[in-house]
Amino acid sequence: MTKNILILKGSPREKGNSAVLADQAAKGAREAGAQVESIYLHGLDIRPCDGCDLCNTGECVIEDDMQPLYPKLAAAHAIVLASPIYWFTYTAQLKLCIDRWYGFQSHHWQELSHKPYGIILTYGDTDLYTSGAINAIHTFETMCRFLKSEIVGIVHGSLMDVGDVEKHPELLQQAYDLGKTLASNSYVRNQQLPPP
């Protein structure tokens, strides 16, 4: 079965470090036979969830670029979230999008659950803790626990300026391998997650 992999890019820099790593993951996934779609969130009109709760009994009623994204999220076999760290967590562009996943609630989360995730994070500081990347990871772990999903791999690196990632072949390779893993059936289900 051909896998559909959806990549959400959270950086405003279209050719930035996280985007380059996301493209590497896409390459690895395609070369392993998957169909990949990458979405540059900064280029979309995605409004914040307004908490109206109309999605309790139906669909999200906000008419914006999130509407065509809902079926893509539902159809994805695996999802990659790629973002720089802004102010000690992932970017507002990605947060706006993920907040709107609340619109899946009338489908009892079925369409969004049980998917493997790949996470790509870049940051200017020296490590996971001082950069705040750990906060993004903690959020994604909690989110995946709720969605009965699993994080298959996290690629992260200390990179500041556009182009810095090209000096890190090991990160490019890790991102490529992550895409390949997501495209294959070889990822191991993480049985270690504690219950919600």
Ligand X SMILES: Cc1cc2nc3c(=O)[nH]c(=O)nc-3n(C[C@H](O)[C@H](O)[C@H](O)COP(=O)(O)O)c2cc1C
- State the residues that interact with ligand X by CB under 6 A: 11, 13, 16-19, 84-88, 122-125, 131-132, 159-160, 162
At 184, list the tokens. 């294959």
First to last CA, the chain: 31
**Nearest distance from residue 27's CB to ligand X, in Å?**
17
Q: How far is the CB of 108 from ligand X (least distance, A)?
A: 34
Q: How far is the CB of 78 from ligand X (least distance, A)?
A: 21
Q: Which is nearer to ligand X, 40 or 102 (CB)?
A: 40
Q: Which is nearer to ligand X, 32 or 81 (CB)?
A: 81
- Closest approach, Cβ 177 to ligand X, in A, equals 19
Length of the chain: 196
Which amino acid is residue 41, in one-letter code?
A: L
The set of long-range contacts for 62-66, using a CB threshold of 8 Å and a minimum separation of 24, is: 62/100, 66/97, 66/100, 66/103
The residues, any chain, with a CB within 8 Å of residue 149's CB and separated by 6 or more, are: 113, 114, 115, 116, 117, 143
Query: What three-state secondary structure class fits 5?
Result: strand
Q: In terms of CB distance, is 89 or 149 closer to ligand X?
A: 89
In the bound state, the residue with its beta carbon closest to ligand X is 16
Q: Of the two residues 17 and 181, which places its CB atom closer to ligand X in the complex?
A: 17
